[in-house]
Amino acid sequence: MKVKVISRIEEEYTRETKSEAIKIHRNLDPRLRPMHRATEYKRALNATKLDKVFAKPFCGAFEGHSDGILSLAKNTQNLKQMASGAADGEIRVWDCPSRKALRILNSHSGAIRGLSFDRTGGKLVSCSDDRSIRIWNVPEAELGELGSRETRREERPAMVVAGESAYRDVDCHWGKDMFATAGNCVDLWDMNKDAPVSSFEWGCDTVLSVRFNPAEPEIFASCGSDRSIALYDCRTNTPTRKLIMQNKCTKLCWNPMEAFNFTVANEDCNLYSYDMRKLNVSTCVHKDFVSAVLDVDYSPTGREFVAGSYDKSIRLFDFNSGHSRDCYHTKRMQRVFCVKFSMDGTYVFSGSDDFNVRLWKAHASEKVGTLLPREKRKMQYNEALKDRFKHMPEIRRIANHKHVPKSIHKSAKLRRTMTDAQTRKKERRVAHAAPGAHKKEFKPMRKERIVEELE
Amino acid sequence: MTRATLPGVVPVENDDENTKKKNNKKNNKRKMKTKIAAKIIDEELHTLKKKYYASASGRSLKETISSKKDTIISDKKTRGKFERAMELDESAALENARRERYLSMEPSGVLEAETEKGERTWRFQQSEIIAHVDVNAKKKAFDLRLEGSGPYRSVDFSPNGQHLVIGGSGDGGHVANVEWNKHKLLSEIYLDENKDDENMREVGVIPAVKCVKYLHNTEFFAVAQTKYTYIYDKRGLEIHRLDKHRDVFAMDFLPKHFLLTTVGREGIVRWQDTTHGEIVAEHRTKLGKCSVLRRSEYNAVTHLGHSNGTVTLWSPNQGQALVKMLCHRGRVNALALDQSGRYMATTGLDCQIKVWDLRKYQELHAYYAPTEVKAMDISQRGMLAISYGSRVQIWNEALTTKAKSPYLNHQFVNGSKVFDVKFCPYEDVLAVGHSKGVTNILVPGSGEPNYDTFVANPFETKNQRREMEVAKLLDKLPSEMIQLDPNAIGQLRDVPKEVQKERREAALRAEMEAKMKQREKNESKTKMKGKNRASKRYRKKQINVIDDKMMAKLEAKKAREEGYKKRANEQGRAKPGVRAGAASDAPRKPDDAPDALRRFYK
């Protein structure tokens, strides 16, 4: 006879003193966890709901400007630093953690349309409606300076370049001491010279935006008032390619991780992503805004971007999704002229017409600060669950719901009826036309807005 | 091949073969040994792994998909996703199997007889088993003699197996909550309900306690009494009286959904949420009074055994039974379900014990008992306990195969009667409620030796219990999710391609037919709508026919009109229907005045 019975000695399964860690025993047998799938679904639902509960994206405002903010610049070398330029010609360099201005740079007499830190983070280039470009030495925060009540003003830039026309935008080269400006033409400048190295013209009277490619630094692109997007190479003297769209593009931003992809903010309420190598079709149309999109900026990860619009809202998009992931707005925020993603990809800045620079979290419900390992694991588990059950109707409904102001909600509704009517009409025209007659009319959205491509 | 499917196994190195030729033979031998060892481990892992596949059917996603010949995914992206899912499934199962090998430290209980010597396990007495086990295990077998307050019709273990609640019916009713492992009485209630109620006394001896059941942890238990059902806390204080649950004979608790389900004299099955107290559903079984109720741990469906021999499966979401099975001739006495949800054992008035496959709803095997079996239970590791008369029998592997002989036998004193048997979770113990008290007997190998701290913890502290309660409440499932297939949640319903095509074609056909019909109708119709009715045609004709009747009518009309005119002229009053301003003092109308100026005169 051989007998053995389960006999657990309590001392072996429990801790002796309270200072010891609690002993944990695991048995992974799925039979001990019946209805596990349903439980996980419930957890996913709870996680989705909690995301909405904890969605508090607004972190704070940077106050001090006395006119609408028209431009923002982030320092690529210093996570804490950021600069903003207002319509009254004032530039403020901010210390982000304390939300205080380090310096007030007060020398322009026109609205600041473009601001850019150079690749070393030591210089700031500003351009303005007053036909001048000014280069500033970026101040280091001195000990005790942030505590003082008065912010030091500075009125003397390191360099002043007088140009011929009002400048709309400026961007610094990612590899050299160069920068490009957009005005009545695109000019390429050396940091140390007061005349442009070269200038590019392709039949448009005002260039609105210019951006260097961060991964392929010799290439840059511009948007013009003739509804064009143009691509340039620093090594040649002529623009390489040009694309005309139906509406004007306001701003442009390159994907920092995929050198050939860029996104433009368009006045027809949409954003368009393009592959530089294939301009006859956009890779993705990002919808959801109800008024002209005024600025766009990519996260350093290249997986998401932020855009600000004339409809007083900011939206966050995944780089390949047609609709926004989230929408930020406040009662007091006016038209958003400029947005920037922070260099660590966790925050978003916005500058608007109500004299304020605002700081938002890039993920509305994310916990700020360090996470305990257990907390981190839990978050990861929740993320995985949400992803697993994202197509379930209830979860999708909660996850997709965004509260927007009444005005946006109404005009979105109106826009939907209009677009629906247009598509319906198109469909009917195609259905009743002779075979092949109206084929041209029924283009996909990704091609529809493109007028022509020039080389 | 084995290497490819089992990425975790380290292949035997081949490098040293060229460098050390001297010890070649020895090396080869060693290699062979390691290879064999690795193979054994492989096989072991392979069998362990099956338990952990997501489909829970012992088949990997790969096997499931490849068995369906026509599911060739043409879309590259979807195919890639599927392949990744398959790999994940495989690797997760393997990882879990590997973990299990290291985690499962405790072996399960055993009872082996030396058959050569003529020993049989079913001949072993409890006294012999107790004599052979260690001191700690000896304490687990005990006999509570409570002759005055018996019979004990219901016993129940808490989910972690540490607490035991017993309900005795005699002498006014007795309920005791015991921490049985420590031989500690936590609370005791004497109901004395019969003594106060005169009606009851007249009827005779009616058992006061019919069923006892723990709720989600050791803190609360429910007691079904003669009239109502009550909830007590562990100190024996009455927390709630559930008025809706009248004359309850059997009940169970669904821990994942926090539902207390009862059935009784009325034959109405009710589910009550114990978190907010609402009755979630009540369904009339229409099969008379019912005293057999068990929940399935696999899918939380409630199984009822009725007096006409049927077993019905109920979910709170459907007014009809999900499944009706005719299991026995005569009343169903007891039923039990195993943990995996595959097997159900039933017994009835016909003295048969039947094992059913719950996937096909078919009988697997039947056993005969000498007399009516009154109570039944299945342990965590699939042992079946039955009781008839004063005897308890335990059968091992009687569900999967047709067993030849019982595993254990236990005989109570002649004259006593067994009413309820319950296996203790995570222990090798069976609690027996009989007419003279409650007895715990040892059944080696019945319980799960390895518990999970986060599922049910026998050694839980106060804080752990509280945390677990919160965690369980957060994961509480809505009652709408109770259905036969618990894995259907979060899945898409797959409509076969042929059916899709058929449906599409049918829709198209119907549309075409409707169109044709309309066209035919349109073409056949030439006349104006609504003008061609027979009655209308007849009436139209009649207007132009002038007969005597019509003539009389016309003449009468003419005369009437003339009469009006005459009177109007005489009295200066207007014809009826013409407004003339009779009350005004306008001049009388001269005869020669034109008719158009009438309104200016009286």
At B497-530, the pLDDT tens digits run 889 899 999 999 999 999 999 888 888 876 666 7
Can you tell me the mean pLDDT for A368-396? 93
From first CA to last CA, the distance across chain B in angstroms is: 122
The residues near B288 (Cβ < 8 Å, ≥ 6 apart) are: B267, B306, B307, B308
Q: Which of A261-265, B148-152, B383-387, B456-460 has the lowest mean pLDDT?
A: B148-152
Select from B108, B133, B299 the Cβ nearest to the Cβ of A3: B133
**In chain B, what residues touch A34 (CB-CB under 8 Å)?**
256, 297-300, 339, 341, 486
Say whether B103 and A28 touch across the interface (CB within 8 A): yes
Neighbours of B399 (CB within 10 A): 24
B448 touches chain A (CB under 8 A): yes
**DSSP symbol at A420:** H
The residues near A64 (Cβ < 8 Å, ≥ 6 apart) are: A92, A101, A104, A151
Select from A14, A22, A27 the Cβ nearest to the Cβ of B452: A27
pLDDT score for A145: 64
Say whether A29 and B339 touch across the interface (CB within 8 A): no
Element of type H or E holding B213: strand B209-214
Cis peptide before B151 (omega within 30 of 0): yes
Report residue A439's pLDDT band, with 50, 70 and 90 as the boundaries.
low
Say whether B132 and A29 touch across the interface (CB within 8 A): no
Nearest Cα neighbor of A244 from A203, A293, A305, A285 is A203
The three-class DSSP label of residue A435 is coil
| All structural domains of chain B with their residue ranges | 2-103, 546-600
How many residues comprise chain B? 602
State the sign of the Cα–Cα–Cα–Cα dihedral B564, B567, B570, B573: negative
Mutate to test the interface with A, among B430, B475, B480, B484 (most CBs of A within 10 A): B475
At what angle are helices A373-388 and A36-53 packed, to 10 degrees?
110
Report residue B330's pLDDT band, with 50, 70 and 90 as the boundaries.
very high
Nearest Cα neighbor of B141 from B443, B377, B548 is B443
**In chain B, what residues touch A5 (CB-CB under 8 Å)?**
109, 129, 133, 137, 140, 428, 442, 444
B465 touches chain A (CB under 8 A): no
Can you tell me the mean pLDDT for B364-393? 94
Q: How far is A420 from chain B (nearest CA, A)?
A: 25
Tell me how far CA of residue B558 lies from CA of B351, B545, B561, B579, in angstroms.
103, 19, 5, 22
A372 touches chain B (CB under 8 A): no
Neighbours of B242 (CB within 10 A): 21
Say whether A38 and B477 touch across the interface (CB within 8 A): yes
pLDDT score for B12: 37
**In chain A, what residues touch B485 (CB-CB under 8 Å)?**
none
pLDDT score for B571: 67
A21 touches chain B (CB under 8 A): no
Can you tell me the mean pLDDT for B546-556? 89
Top-confidence range, B5-14, B53-62, B422-431: B422-431
| All structural domains of chain A with their residue ranges | 58-73+165-364
Neighbours of B40 (CB within 10 A): 10
Report residue B313's pLDDT band, with 50, 70 and 90 as the boundaries.
very high
Report residue B124's pLDDT band, with 50, 70 and 90 as the boundaries.
very high
pLDDT score for B544: 80
pLDDT score for B5: 33
- Identify the residue whose tokens are 């013209």: A201
Q: What angle do CA A14, A17, A22 make, to 5 degrees?
A: 45
B100 touches chain A (CB under 8 A): yes
Mean pLDDT computed over every residue of chain B? 85
B299 touches chain A (CB under 8 A): yes
Is the model's pLDDT at A379 over the cut of 70? yes
**DSSP symbol at B117:** G
**In chain A, what residues touch B129 (CB-CB under 8 Å)?**
3, 5
Query: What ipTM was assigned to the predicted interfaces of this complex?
Result: 0.81
Q: How far is B448 from chain A (nearest CA, A)?
A: 9
Is the model's pLDDT at B409 over the cut of 90? yes
Say whether B96 and A33 touch across the interface (CB within 8 A): no
Say whether A31 and B104 touch across the interface (CB within 8 A): no
Q: Which of A264-273, B20-29, B417-426, B464-473 has the lowest mean pLDDT?
A: B20-29
Q: Which two tokens stand for residue A123?
A: 């210089």
State the sign of the Cα–Cα–Cα–Cα dihedral B389, B394, B399, B402: negative
- The answer for B 251-270 residues in CB contact with A (under 8 A) is 256
- The answer for A 375-434 residues in CB contact with B (under 8 A) is 388-389, 392
Can you tell me the mean pLDDT for A222-238? 91
Report residue B7's pLDDT band, with 50, 70 and 90 as the boundaries.
very low
Q: Which two tokens stand for residue B493?
A: 């319903």
The three-class DSSP label of residue A154 is strand
Nearest Cα neighbor of B250 from B312, B197, B305 is B305
pLDDT score for B381: 93
A39 touches chain B (CB under 8 A): yes
Q: Which two tokens stand for residue A185?
A: 């033409």
pLDDT tens for each residue of A162-216: 988 899 999 999 999 999 999 999 999 999 888 999 989 887 789 999 999 999 9
pLDDT score for B47: 77
d(Cα B304, Cα B290) in Å, to the nearest integer? 7
pLDDT score for B37: 67
**DSSP symbol at A139:** P
Select from A1, A4, A389 the Cβ nearest to the Cβ of B490: A389
pLDDT score for A335: 95
pLDDT score for A141: 66
Select from B108, B478, B489 the Cβ nearest to the Cβ of A37: B489
Select from B52, B132, B487 the Cβ nearest to the Cβ of A1: B132
Say whether B452 and A10 touch across the interface (CB within 8 A): no
CATH top-level class of A58-73+165-364: mainly beta
Q: How far is A43 from chain B (nearest CA, A)?
A: 6
In order, the DSSP letters of B300-322 are: --EEEE-TTSEEEEE-TT-SS-S
**In chain B, what residues touch A37 (CB-CB under 8 Å)?**
486-487, 489-490
* Greater pLDDT, B129 or B226: B129
Q: Which of A275-289, B98-112, B301-315 has the lowest mean pLDDT?
A: B98-112
- The answer for B 15-54 residues in CB contact with A (under 8 A) is 51-52
pLDDT score for A46: 95
Mean pLDDT computed over every residue of chain A? 91
A9 touches chain B (CB under 8 A): yes
Q: Which two tokens stand for residue A79?
A: 């996570």
B115 touches chain A (CB under 8 A): no
Top-confidence range, A69-73, A78-82, B116-120, B150-154: A69-73
pLDDT score for A12: 87
Select from B442, B448, B489 the Cβ nearest to the Cβ of A38: B489
Is the model's pLDDT at A231 over the cut of 70? yes
pLDDT score for B355: 96
* Greater pLDDT, A355 or A147: A355
d(Cα A319, Cα A262) in Å, to the nearest integer? 10
Are A301 and A281 within 8 A, CB to CB? Answer: no
**In chain B, what residues touch A14 (CB-CB under 8 Å)?**
459, 461
Report residue B205's pLDDT band, with 50, 70 and 90 as the boundaries.
very low
Q: How far is B117 from chain A (nearest CA, A)?
A: 10
Say whether A27 and B455 touch across the interface (CB within 8 A): yes
